Chain A
């Protein structure tokens, strides 16, 4: 059973067209939800960590939010350089992360 599910699998946006990516999780005892960005041919790059429902974090055009069952990554007025795969991961006990399969975002000018 999938513990971390991301949707949609792929998203195409026009430059400036805001949208949201979803990450739903079923793990108990959440000890952190992580967002990463991955560019082709590179390793995932850390973006945010969220720990409790209601928490929000922002970085440039990205804002991550967390509820008890899901997290959203909001992208405001995206640019072509925001094109990448966005990965969500959760941490239970210990240090291991469980990753979702990601959402591939394409932003065209």
Chain B
């Protein structure tokens, strides 16, 4: 398996622009997570899905952030409009909920810079 795939790997955009981050989870996994990592706050959970249904979005910072999971093999995280304080590395992770250990497998991340 190729692991969790994220695109793009790097994104540089200007304040006010819309940004869309994409994630393909590991085949067979039924839970998907979006995290944001910064030096100040570490790794923070934004939202997670079980069986394509959003379960907890309490970590989404503002209404400017939205996430979708239209099917088991694809998810997007959208920021509209983007702001400089959104600059961070965004990780997608997947796991098999209901298994023995539930470990999450992370993608390589998308480094977002908002100018």
Residues of A within 8 A of B (CB): 32, 34, 36, 41-46, 49, 87, 91, 94-102
Contact call A95/B102, Cβ cutoff below 8 A: yes
Given known contacts A32-B102, A49-B103, A97 and B109 CB-to-CB distance under 8 angstroms: no
Further pairs besides A95-B97, A102-B43: 8, Cβ < 8 Å: A32-B101, A36-B106, A43-B106, A46-B105, A49-B102, A94-B55, A95-B48, A101-B42
Given known contacts A42-B109, A43-B109, A97 and B104 CB-to-CB distance under 8 angstroms: yes
Give the top 9 A-B pairs by smallest Cβ distance, nearest first.
A43-B106, A101-B42, A99-B43, A46-B103, A49-B101, A44-B106, A95-B31, A95-B97, A43-B108
CA distance A34 to B106 in the complex (A): 13
Note all chain B residues with C-beta closer than 8 A to A98: 45
* Minimum C-beta distance from A90 to chain B (A): 12
What count of chain B residues pass the 8 Å CB interface test? 24
Report which residue of B33, B104, B105 has the largest number of chain A beta carbons within 10 angstroms of its beta carbon.
B104
Q: Does B18 sit at the interface, judged by CB under 8 A?
A: no
Note all chain B residues with C-beta closer than 8 A to A87: 43
Which A residue's beta carbon lies closest to that of B48?
A: A96
Note all chain A residues with C-beta closer than 8 A to B56: 94, 96
CA distance A49 to B99 in the complex (A): 13
* Minimum C-beta distance from A50 to chain B (A): 10
Note all chain B residues with C-beta closer than 8 A to A46: 103-105
Note all chain A residues with C-beta closer than 8 A to B55: 94-95
Note all chain B residues with C-beta closer than 8 A to A42: 108-109
